[in-house]
Structure 1
Amino acid sequence: MMRFFELYTKELFATGLVFLTVILLRVIVSKAVKKYSKSHTGIEKRTNLVIKYIHLLINILAVISLIVIWGVQKNDIMITLSSIATVVGVAMFAQWSILSNITSGVILFFSFPFKIGDVIKVHDKDFPFEGEIIDINAFHTDLITKEGERLVYPNNLLLQKGISIVKPRFEDQEFTD
């Protein structure tokens, strides 16, 4: 056991440093995103989702760092990464709309073109509508029309279509059946 520590002192120290860095980055990023969210909309559900995505990225970078630290050959790393990228690329191409909606959800989080409670008009030539935003999720936005119809609209279409913010909320009107 002592021999192990003598042989791999540098690697063990670097591994500890990577773990410490991951913990610090996760805490700093979480606080920064929460602070940004509080100053703009304060939607906890969306904030936690963005934090989860960023933590995943930090973890992937940490794993790559550990692979390099423990001496995996660069050629082996490149072959492995290219194989993984190929498989993920094929899978994501098949599921492009999922990736597109997740990306759109993150963009909507940071740009805040509209918020929960806003009434928006979607300028779609085939299906124009107006509705109040009741929730914004990772994949879709939930809206409710004056008629009480609940619409689930993909986030990527919200970024592709023309949107008008009509007013902050529907007036205190009764929804008709």
Structure 2
Amino acid sequence: MKVRLPAWTHDWLQYVEPAGLILLTVAVAWLLRLIGRRLIRRLGEHYTLPPEMVMGARRVTGFVVYFAALLTVLNILGVSATVLWTAFTGFAAVGAVAFFAAWSVLSNIFCTLLIFTTRPFRLHDYIEVLENGEKPGLKGRVIDVNLIYTTLQETDGGHEGTVLQVPNNMFFQRTVRRWRDPAQAPGGIQGDG
């Protein structure tokens, strides 16, 4: 005996099957997550694992189960796994390039905040950024500190009147020698008053 459905239901049948598969996928994912949580809790109690490790394992398990369910649902909706993987790797590559490109700028901005809070030097101080304890380095009078650079006005020998723009993160990678009064500086730094 064949069951005949009314004609108006034929249009809806194409949506019922995917909807049922999606609901089944969500139910299976929920059940797997529940089983995984209980299994991890029992293993944690049996082997007396630290609570942080148990919590981390539960979170990772939940993420893996729900991510797999999301991929399955997208596959049911007709989205190709190849397209998803290509999009994910493309976004990850762009994100990594953007992170590394911005890293230097962000480092300098953070170091500016540290310069303003820790005050290793101030405006109008005479400083020298040393390569190591023996070699002379960049020196001059601090005339400006902005988000990226500290500007030093050179006051020694043949470079008088020129300025150096030193990236702010350099002050936390090198040793900085500071004089408030140029008369205290041992040779080389001539003050202009």
Per the normalisation by structure 2, the TM-score is 0.41
Larger RCO: Structure 1 or Structure 2 (Cα < 8 Å, ≥ 6 residues apart)?
A: 1
Per the normalisation by structure 1, the TM-score is 0.44
